[in-house]
A and B are shown apart, each in its own frame.
Chain A
Amino acid sequence: MKYFFGTIVIALIAFGYYSFYYQPLAASSPTATPVLTLSEIPNDICPEKIWLLVAAVNDPKPLVDRSVPVRECRTVLLKNYLPASSGEYAVFMKLPTSLASSVVVSTPLTRSITVPIRLGDVTKDNVIDAADEKLVTDALYSIGGVADITGDGKVSVDDVVTVRINKGVGADRPDSKPWGKIE
């Protein structure tokens, strides 16, 4: 009993700290429903749909393999596309000019996740390389088109820089099929 009062006070401090400080920061999702947030997308880009592929970990057969709506340009209600039963699933997502990204989630989904989207695959082969950089560089100072990665209506240094910093190879589909052209 000697330390009972002190323990209670410190527990209250820790609880209050978590409640008032950490939770507002963690609650970045606009709703309480867990969502998939697409980050690193330029402000002028508002994707209405994204290609989503869901497969159980260690099972290449896709459970979901289709275009799904993007809410408020940045979020996907991932819960709608995951099985209700508990398990681990690989979630792949791809925009027409982005590398395919993947993340492993556990169901039931209890928290939101954020996945960076790497734009710049203007040749649409799931690889951002010198060919993409050349295509964008050749279109420099022109208006719009596929080379306008940032979506601001003109091909500028921002588009070239986006390609350069996002160079790499996207995730392969679990069934080893090609991603194909996603529109």
Chain B
Amino acid sequence: MKRALSSRAVFIILSFITAVLLFGSMVLQNVYFKADQVDSSLFISPTTFSRKPNSNVTLQVKANIQGAAVIAGAQFYLEYDQSLLEFSETTTTPPFTSLQSVADEGVVAWTLLPSTEFGTTVQLSGEVTFGSVAFKTIAEGQATVRFRQSDSSITAIDSSRSPALYNAIVSIQDSSGIISERNGEAAKPTETLTKSAEVLPTFSAQKVLRNEPVVSDVAAKLLVSLKYVGGISVRFGTTSDLPLTIEASELSQHHLIDFSALEPETRYYYQLIVYSEDKKTSLKTQTKSFVTSSAGGRIADQKLTSVAVLPEVATKTAKVVIAARDDQGKVSSEQLTVVPVSGSAQVIEQRALNGITVATVSSTITTNQSVDLSVRAGEREVAQAKLTFDPSIADHTEPMYKFPGPIQITPNNAALLFLVAAGMILFGMLFIRLARSK
């Protein structure tokens, strides 16, 4: 009996189907994971101000958006001291329009939507200005304007999840100012600081393993690694009373904290407060400081460019944070790229904002490996970094989503290994067959 299809034809058809399945799934997986939630750091600019009583102060509400976010609306609750400030008005910046702003008992509730000409959503990335809030100063003192984290939201859409709406805010930073008749004098930074030696051991098992700032002229990123998963808030400022606060809403073992709207060539003091998931216990670190760089640098210098990796030992992904400076220590405007030079890893995302470049490096290899990274300005290497991928360590690096969907697909290392092995066998066999073919 003659067969309808020869063995060779069956072999080729099956090979083709298998190859399509293998490569199709890989492409599909990449497409899927590109549609992800985007983190945003919300802040008020300027972070510090000084005014005389009976003058106006206008504060801009901004966010550093760490990717292309599809934003459908925003809501900010701003708390202020009524005895020092009087709310005047809110003003939006395109593409947003104000839906409603209400001031009551020291809180401004403000809701913004994309303007009608933009439709129901706008796609934004980088530093975004939502608008400004104007106050009138009414008495002397130190006034702080801060976001109420529980009610503030940048409502974005991630269509790959259900429900698609999520709050993109992962950290908030407030603003503080001196209101004094001696305008300017009282607001000068206190150069001497009484260093706090206390590290309150109430959060007994928790430890801050790393606390490293990477600084540009107007921004800084603080790389923090904890022994265990925890939340972080940072008190900071140019004065010893650390009047400003950054609240990071995620619980994680590794935190990349954004400082925004900083002044160049200024010393900032900061203290970390690490808290447990239930916020009942906390750990305060010693007060440390960093100095922001000068602006206007040109060619990135190898010695003065700083690079740091978080975490240094990662399961799947790590962030590489770079602040390029020229030979004068000024922030370099050169565009940097991160290139893996050894090991199996890819740079899946890279963004530069306010003088700091952040690259996300990912590995899909299921065994331990070290990856050497080269930071380049064009063809010239300006810095090197090293990181280790160890898939076996407990994965506490992934942020906890505030709106978890019922179905969460995560990269399956076993499946990937299977695919790679299957692909190698397949093409090995094809090669042998072709070599033997007459």
- Contact surface of A with B, Cβ cutoff 8 Å: 1-4, 6-7, 9-11, 13-14, 16-17, 20-21, 24-25, 28, 37, 39-43, 74, 116, 137, 140-141, 150, 154, 156-158, 160-162, 164-165
Contact = CB atoms under 8 A, between A and B. Distances in A.
A24 B165 CA distance: 26
B155 A157 contact: yes
B403 A17 contact: no
A43 B100 CA distance: 26
Interface in B100-120: 100, 102, 109, 111-113, 120
Interface of B: 6-8, 10-11, 14-15, 17-18, 21-22, 25, 72-75, 99-100, 102, 109, 111-113, 120-121, 151, 153, 155, 157, 162-165, 403-404, 406-407, 409, 412, 414-415, 418-419, 422, 425-426, 429, 433
B418 A140 contact: no
A120 to B, nearest CB: 12
A16 B165 contact: no
Nearest to A165: B120
Q: Is the interface of B mostly helix, strand, loop or mixed?
A: mixed
Given A13-B425, A21-B418, A43-B163, A156 B75 contact: yes
A160 B7 contact: no
B153 A7 contact: no
Given A14-B21, A17-B419, A161-B73, 19 more contacts: A2-B7, A3-B8, A3-B433, A10-B429, A17-B22, A21-B418, A21-B419, A39-B162, A42-B163, A42-B165, A42-B403, A116-B162, A140-B111, A156-B111, A156-B153, A158-B153, A158-B155, A161-B72, A162-B165
Nearest to A141: B109
Contacts of A13: 18, 422, 425-426
Contact of A160 (B21, B22, B73, B162): B73
Nearest to A5: B429
A38 to B, nearest CB: 9
A6 B7 CA distance: 9
B155 A7 contact: no
Nearest to B25: A21
A24 B157 contact: no
A7 B11 contact: yes
6 contacts: A13-B18, A21-B25, A40-B163, A156-B151, A158-B165, A164-B120
A10 B11 contact: yes
Please list the 3 inter-chain residue pairs (A to B) with the smallest Cβ-Cβ separation, ordered nearest first: A3-B7, A157-B75, A3-B11
Nearest to B119: A164
A125 B286 CA distance: 60
B409 A25 contact: yes
Contact of A24 (B6, B99, B100, B412): B412
A60 to B, nearest CB: 31
Given A160-B73, A161-B165, A164-B113, A14 B17 contact: yes
B77 to A, nearest CB: 9
A116 B406 CA distance: 13
Contact of B10 (A7, A16, A162): A7
B76 to A, nearest CB: 9
B99 A160 contact: yes
A165 B121 contact: yes
Contacts of B406: 37, 39, 74
A20 B75 contact: no
A43 B167 CA distance: 13
A20 B422 CA distance: 12
Contacts of B102: 141
Contacts of A28: 407
Contacts of A4: 7
A157 B153 contact: yes
Contacts of A116: 162
Contacts of B75: 156-158
Contacts of A74: 406
Given A137-B100, A164-B72, A16 B14 contact: no
B210 to A, nearest CB: 33
Contacts of B7: 1-4, 7
Nearest to A114: B162
B28 to A, nearest CB: 10
Contacts of A37: 406
Nearest to B77: A141
Q: Which of A9, A140, A161, A164 has the most CB of B within 10 A?
A: A161
Nearest to B74: A157
